[in-house]
Amino acid sequence: MLSCLFLSHFTSARRKMLGFSLLELLIVISLLLILTRMAYPQYTAYLTRAHRLEGRAALLDLAMRMEEYYAREHTYENASIGRDRPDDLLPHPYSLQGYYQLVITQATATQFSLHAIPTKTQAQRDRRCQTLSFNSQGQKGIASGPLGIPQGTREECWS
């Protein structure tokens, strides 16, 4: 009889050490799914803002290069990016990670206007700002992009 009690205790202790029950596993999976559904939109919003920051930095860097070009050439005309010319301001027309395409939309003797157009996943996610713009007077703005008219404000996109 003592051996039966010992075996039943050993068997239940052994069962507990072998792993989780199906119910425990389903509860854990359900909790993980709920947390993932709550966290994923915040994560993608964070990525969108981070990529927008990259676009703004690339646009301001291009504006600085335009000013350097003006100091050297006394005009903004003929400034270019990514055309395999020796006087190109940048070797390619994309931001560092490639989430924005940089475009010189206007370059006259005394003025310039630049756009950073979203590409890749940024083009689909950033409905608030779409295309970022900057000109020689230091005016920052937003314009229509791949998804149409931006839903945000200039202040929201440049702050």
pLDDT digits (tens, 9 = 90+) for 102-125: 999 999 999 999 999 999 999 999
pLDDT digits (tens, 9 = 90+) for 5-17: 555 555 555 555 6
For residue 132, which of 75, 38, 60 has the smallest C-alpha distance? Answer: 60
Distance between alpha carbon 144 and the CA centroid of its chain, in Å?
18
What is the predicted pLDDT for the residue at 60?
97
Tokens of 124: 């689909």
Considering the entire predicted model, what is its pTM?
0.78
The proportion of the chain whose per-residue pLDDT surpasses 90, expressed as a percent, equals 74
| Dist CA 68 CA 103 (whole Å) | 17
H or E element, residue 117: strand 112-118
Cβ atoms within 10 Å, residue 67? 13
pLDDT digits (tens, 9 = 90+) for 29-80: 999 999 889 899 899 999 999 999 999 999 999 999 999 999 999 999 999 9
* DSSP 8-state class, residue 95: -
In the predicted model, is pLDDT for residue 131 greater than 90?
yes
Q: Which residues of 46-58 are buried (b: 16+ CB within 10 A; e: fewer)?
A: eebeebbebbbeb
What is the predicted pLDDT for the residue at 25?
87
